[in-house]
Amino acid sequence: MRMTKLKADAQALLFLLPFLIVYLLFTVWPMIKGVQMSLYKWTLIKRIKYVGWHNYQNMFHDQEFWASLWHSTIFVLLTTPTMIILAIILALIANRNSRLQKFYRSVFFLPSILSVAVASFLGLFMFQPYTGFLNSLLHLVHMLPAGKEIFWLTETNLAWIAVGFLTLWWTVGFNFILYLSAMQDIPDEIYEAARLDGATDSAVFWQITLPLLAPITKTITMLQIIASFKVFLQIYIITGGGPLDQTRSVIQYIWQTGFRKNNLGYAATMSYMLFFILLVLSAIQYGMNNRKEAQMR
């Protein structure tokens, strides 16, 4: 019996071996190399010299790094709650019995198949002054006076709104599908029992649907926080980090440091700081989830 189990384990390992080799080669080894890089002065061409913890000391005194990290945090606070609320609303609409059910599902999910570059250039077209779609529409419906323009991309608050709106439009489809799938897993008998007890639509949503969506909401929240902290290309294309670097994300600053300033060692240091922050946030949420599950038992 023991030999049979060992043989089965060996066969399973052989099937897993190709994946493990690729994973070690392209994930684990670059992470180890990145830690080494953060301890050196390292350019695009070669490793220059060992500097120990000097890069980390510089990072803690680098005001531009902390400013860009704060900008990414603003983006997280702006998009994460809005994304969750919007995804739930869209899932509720698409989950209702209707002749347009398939249409809703297709339209809500469709933007998420676009690449980030395509979505960003669409956003750039929409928010341009004078020739942009949004300003032209506002002129057409007389919500914006003739000769007046809204400069969405050159005013800090408006730039955040523009980038946030584009990101929500482009990425909500994935979270919408997760919520829709979770709603369809809720047994109809629960709703039928609630209706027999005289529950209103509002009561059904707040007392049944929303609590039963809690597990997927926790997952989506963590995934959205991580994705939002890693935002780069849509901000880079739409605002370039402006005006005056007020929308520059931490990933953009890391990229500029590594590839424009030719300082890969310091860029690696900041990357691991961001990794540590995301790790701590994930650990906190994991601990909170376990505590709530323990209280419910």
* Structure confidence by residue, pLDDT tens digits, 224-245: 999 999 999 999 999 999 888 8
Fold of 42-296: MetI-like fold (1.10.3720)
pLDDT digits (tens, 9 = 90+) for 125-134: 899 888 888 9
Cα–Cα nearest to 163, from 242, 50, 53: 242
In whole angstroms, give the CA distance from residue 176 to residue 222.
Answer: 15
In whole angstroms, give the CA distance from residue 126 to residue 140.
Answer: 14
pLDDT above 90 for 253: yes
Cα–Cα nearest to 71, from 272, 267, 256, 250: 250
pLDDT above 70 covers what percent of the chain? 97
Query: Which residues make Cβ contacts (< 8 Å) with residue 252, sequence separation at least 6?
Result: 68, 232, 235, 236, 241
pLDDT above 90 for 169: yes
Amino acid 131: pLDDT: 85
In whole angstroms, give the CA distance from residue 232 to residue 224.
Answer: 14
Asked if 173 and 248 count as a contact pair (C-beta separation under 8 A), the reply is no
pLDDT above 80 for 175: yes
pLDDT digits (tens, 9 = 90+) for 30-65: 888 888 999 999 888 888 888 889 999 999 999 999
**Number of other residues whose CB lies within 10 A of the CB of residue 126:** 19
What would the mean pLDDT of 21-37 be, rounded to a whole number? 89
Amino acid 3: pLDDT: 65
Amino acid 293: pLDDT: 65
Asked if 47 and 192 count as a contact pair (C-beta separation under 8 A), the reply is no
Handedness of CA 233, 237, 241, 246 (dihedral sign): negative
Cα–Cα nearest to 70, from 280, 288, 277: 277
Alpha carbon distance, N-terminus to C-terminus of the chain: 38
H-helix or E-strand containing 236?
A: helix 233-238
What would the mean pLDDT of 151-171 be, rounded to a whole number? 92
pTM of the complete model beyond 0.85: yes
